[in-house]
Structure 1
Protein backbone atom coordinates (compact mmCIF):
# COMPACT_ATOMS: atom_id res chain seq x y z
CA UNK A 1 0.00 0.00 0.00
CA UNK A 2 1.40 3.33 -1.00
CA UNK A 3 1.75 6.07 1.61
CA UNK A 4 -0.06 9.36 1.36
CA UNK A 5 1.62 11.86 -0.91
CA UNK A 6 2.57 15.32 0.44
CA UNK A 7 3.52 18.30 -1.68
CA UNK A 8 7.25 18.83 -1.74
CA UNK A 9 8.81 21.99 -0.38
CA UNK A 10 11.59 23.90 -2.11
CA UNK A 11 14.25 21.70 -0.48
CA UNK A 12 12.60 18.50 -1.71
CA UNK A 13 11.14 17.56 1.65
CA UNK A 14 7.43 17.01 2.19
CA UNK A 15 5.69 20.42 2.30
CA UNK A 16 3.57 19.74 5.35
CA UNK A 17 5.66 22.31 7.22
CA UNK A 18 4.61 25.05 4.83
CA UNK A 19 1.09 25.00 6.20
CA UNK A 20 2.44 25.30 9.71
CA UNK A 21 4.70 28.21 8.69
CA UNK A 22 1.82 30.03 7.08
CA UNK A 23 -0.31 29.59 10.18
CA UNK A 24 2.51 30.88 12.37
CA UNK A 25 2.98 33.86 10.06
CA UNK A 26 -0.72 34.66 10.20
CA UNK A 27 -0.68 34.40 13.99
CA UNK A 28 2.31 36.76 14.22
CA UNK A 29 0.60 39.21 11.88
CA UNK A 30 -2.61 39.14 13.91
CA UNK A 31 -0.65 39.65 17.14
CA UNK A 32 1.34 42.51 15.63
CA UNK A 33 -1.81 44.27 14.46
CA UNK A 34 -3.44 43.67 17.83
CA UNK A 35 -0.49 45.08 19.79
CA UNK A 36 -0.20 48.03 17.41
CA UNK A 37 -3.90 48.77 17.92
CA UNK A 38 -3.45 48.59 21.71
CA UNK A 39 -0.44 50.92 21.62
CA UNK A 40 -2.26 53.35 19.31
CA UNK A 41 -5.28 53.32 21.61
CA UNK A 42 -3.09 54.02 24.64
CA UNK A 43 -1.38 56.87 22.82
CA UNK A 44 -4.75 58.36 21.86
CA UNK A 45 -6.04 58.06 25.42
CA UNK A 46 -2.83 59.62 26.77
CA UNK A 47 -3.00 62.45 24.23
CA UNK A 48 -6.64 63.23 25.00
CA UNK A 49 -6.09 62.92 28.74
CA UNK A 50 -3.09 65.22 28.55
CA UNK A 51 -5.07 67.67 26.47
CA UNK A 52 -7.85 67.77 29.07
CA UNK A 53 -5.31 68.51 31.81
CA UNK A 54 -3.65 71.14 29.63
CA UNK A 55 -6.97 72.82 28.84
CA UNK A 56 -8.04 72.84 32.49
CA UNK A 57 -4.67 74.30 33.50
CA UNK A 58 -4.88 77.04 30.88
CA UNK A 59 -8.47 77.76 31.87
CA UNK A 60 -7.41 78.26 35.48
CA UNK A 61 -4.75 80.85 34.62
CA UNK A 62 -5.50 84.46 35.45
CA UNK A 63 -3.55 87.68 35.78
CA UNK A 64 -2.36 88.32 39.35
CA UNK A 65 -4.39 91.00 41.10
CA UNK A 66 -1.30 92.50 42.71
CA UNK A 67 1.69 91.77 40.50
CA UNK A 68 5.02 92.06 42.25
CA UNK A 69 7.53 94.37 40.59
CA UNK A 70 10.36 92.92 38.49
CA UNK A 71 13.42 94.29 36.72
CA UNK A 72 11.70 94.32 33.34
CA UNK A 73 8.70 93.18 31.31
CA UNK A 74 8.54 91.13 28.12
CA UNK A 75 5.39 90.86 26.02
CA UNK A 76 5.03 88.48 23.09
CA UNK A 77 3.01 89.90 20.22
CA UNK A 78 -0.11 88.16 19.00
CA UNK A 79 -2.90 90.38 20.22
CA UNK A 80 -3.60 93.98 21.12
CA UNK A 81 -4.67 93.05 24.64
CA UNK A 82 -1.24 91.59 25.38
CA UNK A 83 0.56 94.83 24.57
CA UNK A 84 -2.03 96.92 26.43
CA UNK A 85 -1.56 94.78 29.54
CA UNK A 86 2.23 95.04 29.32
CA UNK A 87 2.10 98.83 28.90
CA UNK A 88 -0.20 99.10 31.91
CA UNK A 89 2.34 97.14 33.95
CA UNK A 90 5.15 99.40 32.77
CA UNK A 91 3.12 102.54 33.51
CA UNK A 92 2.38 101.31 37.02
CA UNK A 93 6.09 100.78 37.74
CA UNK A 94 6.11 96.97 37.69
CA UNK A 95 9.24 96.98 35.54
CA UNK A 96 11.99 99.40 34.47
CA UNK A 97 11.76 98.59 30.76
CA UNK A 98 9.49 96.75 28.36
CA UNK A 99 10.45 94.58 25.41
CA UNK A 100 7.79 94.01 22.76
CA UNK A 101 8.97 90.87 20.99
CA UNK A 102 7.88 89.77 17.53
CA UNK A 103 6.77 93.10 16.07
CA UNK A 104 6.22 93.12 12.31
CA UNK A 105 9.28 94.77 10.69
CA UNK A 106 7.00 96.94 8.59
CA UNK A 107 5.42 98.52 11.69
CA UNK A 108 7.18 101.68 12.81
CA UNK A 109 7.63 102.61 16.45
CA UNK A 110 5.29 105.54 16.12
CA UNK A 111 2.62 103.46 14.41
CA UNK A 112 2.86 100.89 17.20
CA UNK A 113 2.69 103.59 19.86
CA UNK A 114 -0.30 105.23 18.22
CA UNK A 115 -2.09 101.89 17.88
CA UNK A 116 -1.68 101.25 21.60
CA UNK A 117 -2.39 104.81 22.66
CA UNK A 118 0.71 104.73 24.85
CA UNK A 119 2.24 107.87 26.30
CA UNK A 120 4.87 109.15 23.85
CA UNK A 121 7.44 109.96 26.53
CA UNK A 122 7.05 106.56 28.22
CA UNK A 123 7.36 104.81 24.87
CA UNK A 124 10.51 106.71 23.96
CA UNK A 125 12.31 106.14 27.23
CA UNK A 126 11.39 102.64 28.24
CA UNK A 127 10.03 100.50 25.39
CA UNK A 128 12.33 98.38 23.22
CA UNK A 129 11.14 96.55 20.10
CA UNK A 130 12.20 93.20 18.67
CA UNK A 131 11.52 92.86 14.93
CA UNK A 132 13.52 89.66 14.43
CA UNK A 133 11.42 87.03 16.20
CA UNK A 134 9.00 85.17 13.94
CA UNK A 135 7.66 82.60 16.40
CA UNK A 136 7.78 81.60 20.06
CA UNK A 137 11.26 80.10 19.68
CA UNK A 138 12.47 83.37 18.20
CA UNK A 139 10.73 85.30 20.99
CA UNK A 140 12.72 83.32 23.54
CA UNK A 141 16.02 83.73 21.71
CA UNK A 142 15.71 87.49 21.20
CA UNK A 143 14.36 87.99 24.72
CA UNK A 144 17.32 86.07 26.15
CA UNK A 145 19.74 88.37 24.35
CA UNK A 146 17.91 91.42 25.68
CA UNK A 147 17.88 90.10 29.25
CA UNK A 148 21.59 89.22 29.09
CA UNK A 149 22.47 92.62 27.65
CA UNK A 150 20.75 94.42 30.54
CA UNK A 151 21.67 91.86 33.22
CA UNK A 152 18.09 91.58 34.41
CA UNK A 153 17.37 89.06 37.15
CA UNK A 154 13.57 89.08 37.17
CA UNK A 155 11.13 89.28 34.28
CA UNK A 156 7.36 89.58 33.99
CA UNK A 157 6.27 87.58 30.94
CA UNK A 158 3.06 88.74 29.29
CA UNK A 159 1.15 86.64 26.77
CA UNK A 160 -2.26 85.00 26.42
CA UNK A 161 -3.21 82.26 28.86
CA UNK A 162 -3.28 79.51 26.22
CA UNK A 163 0.18 80.57 25.01
CA UNK A 164 1.76 80.84 28.46
CA UNK A 165 2.84 77.18 29.07
CA UNK A 166 4.83 76.97 25.82
CA UNK A 167 6.23 80.47 26.24
CA UNK A 168 7.49 79.70 29.72
CA UNK A 169 8.97 76.42 28.49
CA UNK A 170 10.95 78.13 25.73
CA UNK A 171 11.99 81.03 27.97
CA UNK A 172 13.15 78.83 30.85
CA UNK A 173 15.53 76.98 28.53
CA UNK A 174 17.42 80.15 27.72
CA UNK A 175 16.87 82.21 30.88
CA UNK A 176 17.82 79.72 33.55
CA UNK A 177 19.34 82.41 35.78
CA UNK A 178 16.47 84.88 35.54
CA UNK A 179 13.21 84.56 37.46
CA UNK A 180 10.16 84.51 35.22
CA UNK A 181 6.82 85.70 36.54
CA UNK A 182 3.87 84.84 34.27
CA UNK A 183 1.20 87.41 33.56
CA UNK A 184 -1.44 85.57 31.52
CA UNK A 185 -3.88 87.69 29.53
CA UNK A 186 -7.39 86.20 29.43
CA UNK A 187 -9.62 87.19 26.52
CA UNK A 188 -12.23 84.49 27.08
CA UNK A 189 -13.13 82.71 30.30
CA UNK A 190 -12.19 79.04 30.05
CA UNK A 191 -12.21 78.04 33.71
CA UNK A 192 -14.42 75.34 35.25
CA UNK A 193 -14.45 73.43 31.98
CA UNK A 194 -15.84 76.40 30.07
CA UNK A 195 -13.64 75.52 27.08
CA UNK A 196 -15.68 72.34 26.45
CA UNK A 197 -18.63 74.25 25.04
CA UNK A 198 -16.56 76.53 22.81
CA UNK A 199 -15.45 74.95 19.50
CA UNK A 200 -13.13 77.84 18.68
CA UNK A 201 -11.48 77.57 22.09
CA UNK A 202 -11.04 73.81 21.67
CA UNK A 203 -9.40 74.35 18.29
CA UNK A 204 -6.98 76.94 19.68
CA UNK A 205 -6.19 74.85 22.76
CA UNK A 206 -5.68 71.68 20.72
CA UNK A 207 -3.33 73.48 18.34
CA UNK A 208 -1.38 74.99 21.23
CA UNK A 209 -1.25 71.66 23.09
CA UNK A 210 0.21 69.96 20.02
CA UNK A 211 2.84 72.70 19.72
CA UNK A 212 3.58 72.36 23.44
CA UNK A 213 4.23 68.63 23.08
CA UNK A 214 6.42 69.28 20.04
CA UNK A 215 8.40 71.84 22.06
CA UNK A 216 8.97 69.28 24.81
CA UNK A 217 10.20 66.68 22.32
CA UNK A 218 12.43 69.21 20.57
CA UNK A 219 13.97 70.16 23.88
CA UNK A 220 14.91 66.53 24.52
CA UNK A 221 16.91 66.20 21.32
CA UNK A 222 18.06 69.74 20.58
CA UNK A 223 20.07 71.89 23.01
CA UNK A 224 19.31 75.61 23.37
CA UNK A 225 21.05 77.64 20.68
CA UNK A 226 20.55 81.26 21.66
CA UNK A 227 23.72 83.35 21.79
CA UNK A 228 24.05 86.33 24.13
CA UNK A 229 25.60 88.48 21.37
CA UNK A 230 24.18 89.90 18.16
CA UNK A 231 21.33 91.77 19.83
CA UNK A 232 18.75 92.73 17.20
CA UNK A 233 16.38 94.61 19.50
CA UNK A 234 15.77 98.27 18.66
CA UNK A 235 16.63 100.10 21.87
CA UNK A 236 14.24 102.90 22.83
CA UNK A 237 17.05 105.37 23.50
CA UNK A 238 18.67 104.69 20.12
CA UNK A 239 15.34 105.00 18.32
CA UNK A 240 14.54 108.23 20.09
CA UNK A 241 17.94 109.63 19.26
CA UNK A 242 17.40 108.80 15.59
Structure 2
Protein backbone atom coordinates (compact mmCIF):
# COMPACT_ATOMS: atom_id res chain seq x y z
CA UNK A 1 0.00 0.00 0.00
CA UNK A 2 2.65 2.49 1.03
CA UNK A 3 4.87 1.43 -1.84
CA UNK A 4 2.17 2.39 -4.34
CA UNK A 5 1.76 5.93 -2.91
CA UNK A 6 5.40 6.93 -3.07
CA UNK A 7 5.61 7.19 -6.88
CA UNK A 8 2.51 9.43 -6.87
CA UNK A 9 3.97 11.77 -4.27
CA UNK A 10 7.25 11.80 -6.14
CA UNK A 11 5.44 12.57 -9.36
CA UNK A 12 3.59 15.51 -7.80
CA UNK A 13 6.77 16.90 -6.29
CA UNK A 14 8.58 16.49 -9.60
CA UNK A 15 5.78 18.26 -11.46
CA UNK A 16 5.88 21.15 -9.01
CA UNK A 17 9.64 21.47 -9.42
CA UNK A 18 9.33 21.45 -13.21
CA UNK A 19 6.52 24.04 -13.07
CA UNK A 20 8.56 26.27 -10.77
CA UNK A 21 11.62 25.97 -13.01
CA UNK A 22 9.62 26.82 -16.15
CA UNK A 23 7.97 29.77 -14.38
CA UNK A 24 11.37 31.03 -13.25
CA UNK A 25 12.79 30.80 -16.77
CA UNK A 26 9.75 32.49 -18.32
CA UNK A 27 10.01 35.27 -15.74
CA UNK A 28 13.69 35.71 -16.57
CA UNK A 29 12.88 36.03 -20.27
CA UNK A 30 10.21 38.64 -19.54
CA UNK A 31 12.68 40.51 -17.34
CA UNK A 32 15.33 40.56 -20.08
CA UNK A 33 12.71 41.69 -22.61
CA UNK A 34 11.81 44.60 -20.30
CA UNK A 35 15.37 45.92 -20.26
CA UNK A 36 15.40 49.11 -22.38
CA UNK A 37 17.53 49.02 -25.51
CA UNK A 38 17.39 52.75 -26.27
CA UNK A 39 16.60 56.13 -24.74
CA UNK A 40 12.99 56.80 -25.62
CA UNK A 41 13.00 60.50 -24.67
CA UNK A 42 16.24 62.45 -24.62
CA UNK A 43 14.77 65.81 -25.59
CA UNK A 44 12.25 66.84 -22.93
CA UNK A 45 13.42 68.82 -19.91
CA UNK A 46 13.04 67.57 -16.36
CA UNK A 47 13.33 69.43 -13.09
CA UNK A 48 16.32 67.34 -12.06
CA UNK A 49 18.61 64.55 -13.21
CA UNK A 50 19.26 61.66 -10.83
CA UNK A 51 22.31 59.45 -11.29
CA UNK A 52 22.68 56.18 -9.41
CA UNK A 53 26.35 55.38 -8.93
CA UNK A 54 27.76 51.89 -9.31
CA UNK A 55 28.61 51.48 -12.98
CA UNK A 56 30.40 52.97 -15.93
CA UNK A 57 28.96 55.78 -18.06
CA UNK A 58 26.30 56.82 -15.53
CA UNK A 59 27.96 59.90 -14.08
CA UNK A 60 29.37 60.97 -17.43
CA UNK A 61 25.90 60.73 -18.98
CA UNK A 62 24.31 62.70 -16.14
CA UNK A 63 26.90 65.47 -16.38
CA UNK A 64 26.50 65.61 -20.15
CA UNK A 65 22.72 65.95 -19.79
CA UNK A 66 23.18 68.72 -17.21
CA UNK A 67 25.61 70.61 -19.43
CA UNK A 68 23.13 70.38 -22.32
CA UNK A 69 20.30 71.84 -20.23
CA UNK A 70 18.20 68.69 -19.81
CA UNK A 71 17.62 69.86 -16.22
CA UNK A 72 18.82 72.59 -13.88
CA UNK A 73 19.92 70.25 -11.08
CA UNK A 74 21.81 66.97 -10.83
CA UNK A 75 21.65 64.61 -7.86
CA UNK A 76 24.19 61.79 -7.57
CA UNK A 77 23.12 59.05 -5.14
CA UNK A 78 25.44 56.57 -3.46
CA UNK A 79 28.67 58.61 -3.51
CA UNK A 80 31.57 57.42 -1.36
CA UNK A 81 32.17 59.56 1.70
CA UNK A 82 35.05 61.97 1.27
CA UNK A 83 34.32 62.53 -2.42
CA UNK A 84 33.12 66.04 -3.24
CA UNK A 85 31.67 67.64 -6.34
CA UNK A 86 35.01 68.97 -7.54
CA UNK A 87 36.53 65.49 -7.34
CA UNK A 88 33.65 63.96 -9.31
CA UNK A 89 34.03 66.59 -11.98
CA UNK A 90 37.77 66.04 -12.23
CA UNK A 91 37.33 62.28 -12.54
CA UNK A 92 34.75 62.84 -15.27
CA UNK A 93 37.02 65.36 -17.01
CA UNK A 94 34.61 68.23 -16.54
CA UNK A 95 35.54 71.77 -15.59
CA UNK A 96 35.16 72.02 -11.76
CA UNK A 97 33.90 75.60 -11.93
CA UNK A 98 31.32 75.12 -14.64
CA UNK A 99 28.72 72.76 -13.14
CA UNK A 100 29.50 72.45 -9.44
CA UNK A 101 26.80 74.96 -8.45
CA UNK A 102 24.10 72.68 -9.85
CA UNK A 103 25.18 69.32 -8.39
CA UNK A 104 24.16 67.70 -5.10
CA UNK A 105 25.61 64.49 -3.70
CA UNK A 106 24.08 61.79 -1.54
CA UNK A 107 26.34 59.72 0.71
CA UNK A 108 23.90 57.47 2.56
CA UNK A 109 22.88 54.89 -0.07
CA UNK A 110 24.72 51.58 -0.31
CA UNK A 111 22.25 49.68 -2.51
CA UNK A 112 19.39 50.32 -4.93
CA UNK A 113 16.75 50.61 -2.21
CA UNK A 114 18.99 53.10 -0.42
CA UNK A 115 19.34 55.03 -3.69
CA UNK A 116 15.56 55.25 -3.96
CA UNK A 117 15.09 56.45 -0.37
CA UNK A 118 17.94 58.96 -0.64
CA UNK A 119 16.64 60.26 -3.95
CA UNK A 120 13.07 60.55 -2.69
CA UNK A 121 14.22 62.56 0.33
CA UNK A 122 16.21 64.95 -1.84
CA UNK A 123 13.38 65.31 -4.37
CA UNK A 124 10.85 66.10 -1.63
CA UNK A 125 13.18 68.63 -0.01
CA UNK A 126 13.43 70.47 -3.32
CA UNK A 127 9.77 70.09 -4.29
CA UNK A 128 10.46 68.41 -7.61
CA UNK A 129 7.75 66.51 -9.46
CA UNK A 130 9.64 65.16 -12.48
CA UNK A 131 13.14 63.71 -12.71
CA UNK A 132 15.25 61.96 -15.32
CA UNK A 133 16.77 58.77 -13.94
CA UNK A 134 20.19 57.72 -15.22
CA UNK A 135 21.43 54.20 -14.57
CA UNK A 136 22.50 51.14 -16.54
CA UNK A 137 19.87 49.59 -18.80
CA UNK A 138 19.89 46.25 -16.95
CA UNK A 139 19.52 48.11 -13.64
CA UNK A 140 16.66 50.33 -14.81
CA UNK A 141 13.64 48.02 -14.18
CA UNK A 142 14.57 47.45 -10.53
CA UNK A 143 15.56 51.07 -9.99
CA UNK A 144 12.21 52.31 -11.31
CA UNK A 145 10.28 49.90 -9.09
CA UNK A 146 12.27 50.89 -6.00
CA UNK A 147 11.83 54.62 -6.67
CA UNK A 148 8.13 54.31 -7.44
CA UNK A 149 7.63 52.23 -4.30
CA UNK A 150 8.99 54.96 -2.02
CA UNK A 151 7.61 57.89 -4.04
CA UNK A 152 4.74 56.78 -6.31
CA UNK A 153 3.68 60.34 -7.11
CA UNK A 154 7.00 61.19 -8.76
CA UNK A 155 7.14 61.31 -12.56
CA UNK A 156 10.28 59.46 -13.65
CA UNK A 157 11.77 59.60 -17.14
CA UNK A 158 14.15 56.65 -17.65
CA UNK A 159 17.48 57.46 -19.29
CA UNK A 160 19.39 54.17 -19.54
CA UNK A 161 23.07 53.90 -20.36
CA UNK A 162 24.56 50.91 -22.12
CA UNK A 163 27.92 49.71 -20.77
CA UNK A 164 30.06 48.05 -23.44
CA UNK A 165 30.73 44.97 -21.30
CA UNK A 166 27.02 44.11 -21.00
CA UNK A 167 25.89 42.22 -24.11
CA UNK A 168 22.11 42.20 -23.87
CA UNK A 169 21.79 40.95 -27.46
CA UNK A 170 22.16 37.16 -27.33
CA UNK A 171 22.96 37.58 -23.64
CA UNK A 172 22.86 33.81 -23.04
CA UNK A 173 26.02 33.45 -25.14
CA UNK A 174 27.97 35.73 -22.83
CA UNK A 175 28.62 34.13 -19.41
CA UNK A 176 29.44 37.44 -17.73
CA UNK A 177 26.29 39.14 -18.99
CA UNK A 178 24.15 36.08 -18.25
CA UNK A 179 25.38 35.98 -14.65
CA UNK A 180 24.77 39.72 -14.28
CA UNK A 181 21.21 39.52 -15.61
CA UNK A 182 20.32 36.44 -13.56
CA UNK A 183 21.63 38.17 -10.44
CA UNK A 184 19.58 41.27 -11.22
CA UNK A 185 16.50 39.13 -11.83
CA UNK A 186 16.92 37.36 -8.49
CA UNK A 187 17.18 40.72 -6.72
CA UNK A 188 13.99 41.79 -8.46
CA UNK A 189 12.17 38.67 -7.24
CA UNK A 190 13.27 39.33 -3.65
CA UNK A 191 12.11 42.95 -3.64
CA UNK A 192 8.54 42.36 -2.34
CA UNK A 193 9.86 40.36 0.62
CA UNK A 194 12.39 43.07 1.36
CA UNK A 195 9.71 45.77 1.22
CA UNK A 196 7.56 43.74 3.61
CA UNK A 197 10.45 43.27 6.00
CA UNK A 198 11.31 46.98 5.92
CA UNK A 199 7.66 47.88 6.59
CA UNK A 200 7.51 45.46 9.51
CA UNK A 201 10.69 46.60 11.22
CA UNK A 202 10.03 50.25 10.46
SS of the residue corresponding to residue 89 of structure 1 reads helix
Q: Is the 8 A contact 1:113 1:120 kept in 2?
A: yes
Give 1:135's aligned residue: 111
Deviation at 1:225, TM superposition (A): 9.0
Match of 1:124 among 100, 104, 113: 100
Shift of the 165–224 alpha-carbon distance from structure 1 to 2, 3 Å rule, reads farther
Q: Is the 8 A contact 1:173 1:224 kept in 2?
A: no
Q: Deviations over 1:159-202 (max 9, x none)?
A: 000000000000001121110000000123745x4212211111
Structure 1 unmatched runs, 5+: 1-22, 227-242
Shift of the 33–222 alpha-carbon distance from structure 1 to 2, 3 Å rule, reads farther
Deviation at 1:76, TM superposition (A): 0.3
* Worse-superposed segment, 47-56 or 206-215: 47-56
Shift of the 150–120 alpha-carbon distance from structure 1 to 2, 3 Å rule, reads same
Give 1:111's aligned residue: 87
CA distance in 1, matches of 2:61, 2:182: 25
Deviation at 1:39, TM superposition (A): 0.8
The alignment status of 1:94 with 2:48, answered yes or no, reads no
- 1:41-190 superposed matches below 5 A: 41-58=18-35, 60-64=36-40, 66-188=42-164, 190=167
The Cα RMSD (Å) is 2.2
Give 1:37's aligned residue: 14
TM-score (norm 2): 0.90
